[in-house]
Chains A and B, each alone.
Chain A
Amino acid sequence: MSHIKTLTFAFMDPPFESERTVTFFRLLDAALDANSHVKVFAYEGAAALSFAKQQQHGNAIHGRDTEQEDHPLTKTWIASLQQKARKKALSFEWINCGLCVDERGVNDTIPGCNRGGPADLWRYASESFNTLTIGTR
């Protein structure tokens, strides 16, 4: 039996709007650094974190083109974490709340991010050693 523990994270903040999103991704990165399997249940605005059609853009006010601006995209951060997990032979599972996805029209996700529902959060939490829920005011 594997001695590697699994942690579940439930998150509801959208990309690009809250500092919580950055802290959330830092926690996921730290969990992989600690050799933990990771499961993420993304609901409400967080269902858009893995949206495949996110695009970088320039910043005309500051005179920077797309490359110079190098705007971070959460879908890229997720892909990087998936890659990090693979290199460490850890699992990195991601489920988006299906209703939340439909509401926002963000069904087109990057590979490795799947569609589910609240029952998956229950399953994730039941299968994990511990769970952190990051709520929003």
Chain B
Amino acid sequence: MSEFLFIQSRDPFTDALTKSQYELINHLANAGNRVTVVLVQNGVMPATKSSIFTPFTKLLHENITLVADKFSLQQREIDAEQLIPEILTTDLDIVIKALLSGQKVIWN
């Protein structure tokens, strides 16, 4: 089992590539790997309760931890209360901690 951290920066509503990136994350989780997904920039857009994007919903997986960057949320006037309950907020230090602990960190 490996640990992966994805920095997910793309908006799935405007970037078709995002769907295949979500699929890769799901494949890694289904293979037994621990995966953390950090939503940044427009990557936070599907994280709200009112968003409807089925491929993103599939990331709510027992092997996947979903977190959203506080700064990106603040820029878009999205409150933590508006997020899907399973998604917590974070600072970017989570990425640095992952790098310093030897995780595979991938920018999407």
Within A9-50, the residues touching B (CB, 8 Å) are 19-20, 23, 26-27, 30-31, 33-34, 36
Q: Which of A62-70, A94-102, A108-116, A127-135 contacts B (4 or more CB under 8 A)?
A: A127-135
Known: A34-B97, A130-B99, A130-B102. A135 touches B92 (CB 8 A): no
Complex alpha-carbon distance, A19 and B102, angstroms: 26
B52 close to A (CB within 8 Å): no
Tell me how far the C-beta of A89 lies from the nearest C-beta in chain B, rounded to whole angstroms. 17
* B-side interface residues, number (CB < 8 Å): 21
| A7 and B99 form a contact (CB under 8 A) | yes
- Closest residue to A26 on the B side, CB-wise? B92
| B96 and A34 form a contact (CB under 8 A) | yes
Complex alpha-carbon distance, A108 and B31, angstroms: 49
- Closest residue to B101 on the A side, CB-wise? A130
Closest 7 CB pairs of A and B: A130-B99, A34-B96, A134-B107, A30-B96, A30-B92, A30-B93, A19-B41
A interface with B by C-beta (< 8 Å): 5, 7, 19-20, 23, 26-27, 30-31, 33-34, 36, 129-130, 132-135, 137
In the complex, which of the residues A20, A30, A31, A132 contacts B91, with contact meaning CB atoms closer than 8 Å?
A: A30
B1 close to A (CB within 8 Å): no
- Closest residue to B71 on the A side, CB-wise? A26
Tell me how far the C-beta of B83 lies from the nearest C-beta in chain A, rounded to whole angstroms. 19
| B17 and A34 form a contact (CB under 8 A) | no
In the complex, which of the residues B40, B41, B71, B107 contacts A132, with contact meaning CB atoms closer than 8 Å?
A: B107
| A23 and B100 form a contact (CB under 8 A) | no
Complex alpha-carbon distance, A135 and B10, angstroms: 12
Across-interface contacts of B107 in A (CB, < 8 A) = 132-135
Tell me how far the C-beta of B82 lies from the nearest C-beta in chain A, rounded to whole angstroms. 20
Tell me how far the C-beta of A10 lies from the nearest C-beta in chain B, rounded to whole angstroms. 10
Across-interface contacts of A135 in B (CB, < 8 A) = 107
Known: A23-B41, A30-B91, A130-B102. A7 touches B96 (CB 8 A): yes
Within B59-108, the residues touching A (CB, 8 Å) are 71, 91-93, 95-97, 99-100, 102-103, 105, 107
| A132 and B93 form a contact (CB under 8 A) | no
Across-interface contacts of B99 in A (CB, < 8 A) = 7, 31, 36, 129-130, 132
